[in-house]
Structure 1
């Protein structure tokens, strides 16, 4: 399709951000989940992120014509903020513009923009995404599982949380706990750059989201110092409660704090928020974590796949 137009930008205008958001929502309605992650969607907002690039694909058409560029048919995002790993990317084609080669064109553009050193997410692992990955010469190397378990007021199958001696739990206080939490998060996830590299801006962006609720953000302390946390999230339209992230200071790991914090958060989601299903994400190769969650009654609901250029 020779009249296809692709633009690469370091920052989106408000109009382009709105158009991309609409595209992501249309695709999510068709596919069952967003093709662009929460982090990627937050990065559509004004204010450039160093190392983040936006790739917009326009197709000919009058309806929704974006300033003479055509209709927005596809969107990709490149995250090059990790100083060690290859850039990570996500991309999506509008349901009304699929089966026309736009996905392959976007994928090739992302590869060209990163010197063919790239990691690509396929959320939900749909067959079409698997097929496109093969066509682009990518290999599967990571599986991120979404686990779910039912909740009820009696929290069937969950024992009472038992905190290690000397540890107390309270909830997050916006404007007070940000820096201490960021330091703990970086230490707890030093092995996991996607989570451990979260910045103050990333945290404040999430605090500004409608779903943010400090009453569901639990902090564990020992002697006044933070040693663990469980941040929960409610997906209101779906009626889902998420174990958004659980972190424990390295010195406290292995003592049962993570399990106790997980149970505290699940009780909050069931009893305080009245939710009937809990979900979480965990890497398939993180066998200890998968084992813990399966013991808590979680089972695999779906899998996100990450591909990379062949090594």
Structure 2
């Protein structure tokens, strides 16, 4: 019999179990079942109102969900993963219902509103959301391209140079440009030093792959922060893949057209690391950005969908 329990925090052994569950699901589905936000909360803690739902059959972890109920306007945000061997037996239904019940009892100003992310556009997730009355509210595209194909050399305007990020020195300038460039973005905007430091402590962080475009006074104009998935043990069994993790340009200098040059510089860095593929995420309705990436030979690979009820 499966037992579902809520937890404010998980211990090291429980976190390792969740990571193993995620890796197993990623191997089957070809995409990570939970977002970076959930992983960061698991490893480092987070808001007191964020909770973990653990489903066990005896001692075996068979499903996991994360619920962030800290947004009083948009409502709760949930993500879940079910063990591949335990799907299509109603366990996902139990987990979603538990998330809905928790939000309904929380007394949130959002009135029990719940958003759920389905990574990889899994048809089972779409059917599950439909059965529970959820509707699509946001769609992200994952795009990929081969790094074995030719890459043009980046061309920066005169007076602009490229250098790597320096830990302990460049955080304020990065936060200034990032928060200006992404003031509209629900995840990337509003960063602070603490959020930055958490990512610097992650095993994948590599300042050599965090490229900054600066002017003659070393003022930051734009950046391309790259990431490598699969380089650490236990992530998944597929070959490592690079990511255009965050690419931003100071809105004050957008007329300099730095985006393409920064993108190419990051792709060449990932290729020089010996990677064969690179991925990125983009809002599905951002037609201008998609055209830019298509011009750089990226193609649509997968879809993440946010549902709301």
Quickly name the TM-score band, shorter chain normalised: 0.7 to 0.9
Q: Deviation at 1:6? A: 2.0
Q: How far has the Cα of 1:302 moved from its partner?
A: 1.1
Corresponding residue of 2:6: 8
Q: Which residue of 1 aligns with 2:92?
A: 103
| SS of residue paired to 1:91 | strand
**Per-residue deviation, residues 107-149 of structure 1 (Å, max 9, x unmatched):** 1111222233111111111111111011111111222111111
Go from structure 1 to structure 2 and tell me whether the alpha carbon gap of 1:132 and 1:231 turns closer, same or farther (over 3 Å shift).
same
After TM superposition, the score normalised by the length of structure 1 is 0.87
Q: Distance in 1 between matches of 2:180 and 2:167?
A: 21
Helix, strand or coil: the match of 1:134? Answer: helix
Q: Aligned residue for 1:269? A: 270
Worse overlay, 220-229 or 182-191: 220-229
Aligned residue number for residue 21 of structure 1: 19
Q: Is the contact between residue 139 and residue 308 of structure 1 (CA under 8 Å) also seen in structure 2?
A: yes
CA contact (8 A) 2:164 2:207 kept: yes
> Within 2, Cα distance between the matches of 1:104 and 1:140?
18
Gaps of 5+ in 1: 66-70
- In 2, Cα distance between equivalents of 1:109 and 1:265: 42
What is the 5 A alignment of 1:219-234?
219-222=212-215, 223-234=217-228
CA distance in 1, matches of 2:158, 2:195: 33
Matches of 1:250 and 1:287, distance apart in 2: 19
Which residue number in structure 2 is paired with residue 249 of structure 1? 250
What residue number does 1:143 align with? 139
Instruction: Give the alignment of 1:42-57 within 5 angstroms.
Output: 42-57=40-55
Alignment of 1:122 with 2:118, yes or no, is yes
| 3-state DSSP of counterpart to 1:206 | helix
User: CA shift at 1:73, angstroms?
Assistant: 1.8
Gaps of 5+ in 2: 105-111, 232-237
- 1:288 aligns with 288
Q: CA deviation at 1:46?
A: 4.7
- TM-score for both structures, normalised by structure 2: 0.88
1:176 to 169, 176, 193: 169
Q: Which 10-residue stretch deviates more, 131-140 or 28-37?
A: 28-37
Kindly indicate whether the alpha-carbon contact (under 8 Å) linking 1:161 and 1:263 is maintained by their aligned counterparts in 2.
yes
Whole-angstrom distance in 2 between the partners of 1:269 and 1:184? 23
1:81/1:217 CA distance change after superposition, 3 Å: farther
Match runs of 1:53-72 below 5 Å: 53-59=51-57, 61=58, 65=59, 71-72=60-61
* Residue in structure 1 matched with residue 204 of structure 2 by the alignment: 211
* SS, match of residue 212 in structure 2: strand
- Aligned-pair CA distance for 1:160: 2.9
Residue 305 of structure 1 deviates from its aligned partner by 1.3
Distance 1:90 1:40, change over 3 A: same
Alpha-carbon offset, residue 193 of structure 1: 2.0
Equivalent residues of 2:74, 2:113 under 8 A apart: no
SS of the equivalent of 2:153 reads coil
Q: 1:84 offset after TM fit, Å?
A: 4.7
4+ runs deviating over 6 angstroms: none
